Chains A and B, each alone.
Chain A
Amino acid sequence: MNKLIVLLSETVLFALLILFLIAESVSITILFIVAGFLCAAAVLIFPKKAERIIKPFAKERRTAIIFSMILMAILPFFFTTQPYWLLTLSLAGIYIMLANGLNMQTGTTGLTNFSGAAFFGTGAYTTGLLSVHLGLPGWLTIPAGMFASVLIGAILFFPVLKVKGHYLALVTIAFGLMFNIMLNNTDAIGGPQGISGVKAFAIGGFDFSGMWAIGPFIFSSYANNYWLTLLAAILALAFTRYIYNSPVGLILNYVRDDEWSSKSQGLNISYWKLIAFCCGNALIGLGGALYAHMIGYVAPDLFSFQTSLLLLSMVLLGGMDSIPGVTVAAFVMIVLTEKLRVIQDYRFLIFGLLVIIMIIFRKEGLIPSRVRPYFPKLKSVLMKR
């Protein structure tokens, strides 16, 4: 029974997503958005009723995850004529990685990182430079991009360990600004024009920019990149979930919530902060590397403070320290702005206002992170009290 509910509701959601993306008229798009908002509002207002729909998902977690992966994998079959939307979805996948990497630092460990875009840029630029100037293959450039992000993050290690609160915010903002100035003024990496002509990902003789077909279905480079991004996003999410649910995740939360107490329990705070910072940066770098291969072009404009704030907005709107929340927020924010070209110019304004409203009225975000259910029985006892 539970399984059926899960399969059915996932299929319905999937169909709605495809319809939403394919629909061309603005009025239908707006209708979808209004309906989506009403659903979200209903879930927020009647949490008990919503729980009844969410419960089967919690019980049949494995089925839910595998089935949704299958659905997302077959998605390109529906977009053979309009492959552009696959690009949007891939972009959403990349932002899911970025936002989750940032969430691991800011949400889980409490390391305020306002220079997410700088690490995104490091990944993208490293991959781009290695691909254009040295002609290295994708399976080398992508790990290199991740590694470079971690390495550039090393410059910030010392301040991150020593400095707290708004000073950490100041340091990371200043770092982001410095990074952007360097990108704009260093001619060796293209200056304001950036790097163009980054080759598409290729592995074992198969070039991701090429076309291929199964029967009547023709897949373009968009579909190839979509699958690559999907795979990376699934791996990234699995990794973040694994970390979050492991004792490491608990330790990171502990370090965030009470530094003195965790210190007195014998935890090496610096070590754990570094672990979280590096893991987060690696994920952000991965996003950047994939971005460079997918778009084929990197320029300083994208890696500005605006993007850092956008990433933080995703974390905050979705819910600090909540992996599902951050993932949903990143997905919705990217797909919505791509779908509603009208608001493209206003997106920062709208998201900024939304974040302010969210901070004032619902700090925990759309999908708050749950209490860790290590002792389910104990939890039910606590709830009864």
Chain B
Amino acid sequence: MDMIGQQLMNAVMLGTMYSLVAIGFSLFFGTMNVIHFSHGDISMLGAFIALFFVPIITQYSVLGSVIMFIGAIVIVAVLGIFLSGLVIQPLQSSPQLYTLLATLEAGLVIREAIRLFYPGGKMSQKFPIIFPSGGFSIGGLTIRFDQLFILAIGVAVFVATVLIVNKTSLGMAIRAYSQDKEASMMMGVSESKVIAVTFALGSALAAIAGILHGTYYREVIYTMGLTSGIIGFSAATIGGLGSIWGAIVGGYLFAFIQTSVSAFVPGGSEYRDVIAFGVMILFLLFRPTGILGERQSERV
């Protein structure tokens, strides 16, 4: 019971981070019909930009952490808009393969830039502790405060995203644009605005995921973006690409598969990604629209 509880908590933590990245994939696919393969590296970039705020944290502990969060999120959101203007919008009319390659190479450039130009970027970097340490136990299950904070932030962000997309006029514009591009533009929806907002929102979520990853594992490394990006896309695919709830469900499901493999299969912790990806491939083959159904299916 004890171990199961801990593993469950672990899965919830991982799932929160995966879902945050997965929502970005779903948003971009839903509105612009593209897959932004450098999304995971954007998330990694968020964690590294947060590292620049370390002096502020040491000076004003709680306020500093808030500043770090907001600062990193805003910077990454702006970078996300910039990146979409550079590698995604110019390629809207060309074959899909080019967008894929351009975003993959953009991710490579981000990774390499961090590795080469961030001081000591080849090694993993220590991430500051921003949440209060300590914890409490319920019935033998120890819950750390930072786990609670991560979960709370994650849920708050999920709710905020769903509210933004479903209740605000901006969200309505995004939904209208994703349903029918031409008609929405005739109704006065500004295309550039929708694209910018989508990319800002998705990149901000990715940055939050990156920072949470850093606080949970206490360290960040330049390669973490590649895996988290592929996992995020896999999660969005399992859940059903294009749907925000699908991304969230997919993220948690992927994390549960991973943790149960490493917990219950002997010697499975190294192979947890292998099995989780295998499950994703099976999903793609036998239930191509994901759990909640994709907006439009083009994969078969």
Please pick, from A110, A166, A181, A360, the residue contacting B90 in the complex, using a CB distance under 8 A.
A360
Contact flag A359-B101 (CB < 8 Å), given A162-B300, A165-B96: yes
SS of A interface (majority): helix
Residue in A closest to B229 when the chains form the complex, CB atoms: A173
Complexed CA–CA distance, A353 and B116 (Å): 14
Q: Is A169 an interface residue (CB 8 A)?
A: yes
Tell me how far the C-beta of B84 lies from the nearest C-beta in chain A, rounded to whole angstroms: 13
Q: Is A245 an interface residue (CB 8 A)?
A: no
Q: Is A135 an interface residue (CB 8 A)?
A: no
Residue in B closest to A308 when the chains form the complex, CB atoms: B104
Contact flag A185-B226 (CB < 8 Å), given A162-B300, A169-B37, A309-B104: no
B271 touches A174 (CB 8 A): no
Interface residues on B, range: 35 or more
B100 touches A169 (CB 8 A): yes
**Number of A residues, CB within 8 Å of B:** 41
Among the 9-residue stretches A34-42, A66-74, A119-127, A341-349, the one with 4 or more Cβ atoms under 8 Å from chain B is A341-349
Q: Please name all residues of chain B whose beta carbon is closer than 8 Å to the beta carbon of A170 when the two chains form the complex.
A: 35, 230, 233-234, 237, 280, 284
Complexed CA–CA distance, A170 and B100 (Å): 10
Please pick, from A173, A185, A348, A360, the residue contacting B91 in the complex, using a CB distance under 8 A.
A360
Complexed CA–CA distance, A106 and B116 (Å): 30
Q: Is B108 an interface residue (CB 8 A)?
A: yes
> Which chain A residues in 142-195 approach chain B with CB under 8 Å?
158-159, 162-167, 169-171, 173-175, 177-178, 181-182, 184-185
Q: Please name all residues of chain A whose beta carbon is closer than 8 Å to the beta carbon of B86 when the two chains form the complex.
A: 356
Q: Please name all residues of chain B whose beta carbon is closer than 8 Å to the beta carbon of A312 when the two chains form the complex.
A: 101
- Produce 1/0 per residue, A97-115, CB < 8 A to B: 0000000001000101010
Tell me how far the C-beta of B40 lies from the nearest C-beta in chain A, rounded to whole angstroms: 11
B105 touches A356 (CB 8 A): yes
> Which chain B residues in 252-284 approach chain A with CB under 8 Å?
270-271, 273-274, 277-278, 280-281, 284
Please pick, from B87, B113, B230, B298, the residue contacting A356 in the complex, using a CB distance under 8 A.
B87
Q: Is B60 an interface residue (CB 8 A)?
A: no
Residues of B participating in the A interface, judged by any CB pair closer than 8 Å = 35, 37, 86-87, 90-91, 94, 96-98, 100-102, 104-106, 108-109, 112-113, 116, 226-227, 230, 233-234, 237, 270-271, 273-274, 277-278, 280-281, 284-285, 288, 298-300
Residues of A participating in the B interface, judged by any CB pair closer than 8 Å = 106, 110, 112, 114, 158-159, 162-167, 169-171, 173-175, 177-178, 181-182, 184-185, 305-306, 309, 312-313, 316, 345-346, 348-349, 352-353, 355-356, 359-360, 363
A175-B281, A185-B270, A359-B105 known; 16 other A-B pairs, CB under 8 Å? A106-B97, A163-B299, A167-B284, A169-B37, A170-B237, A170-B284, A171-B284, A177-B227, A177-B277, A178-B277, A184-B270, A185-B271, A306-B108, A352-B106, A356-B109, A359-B102
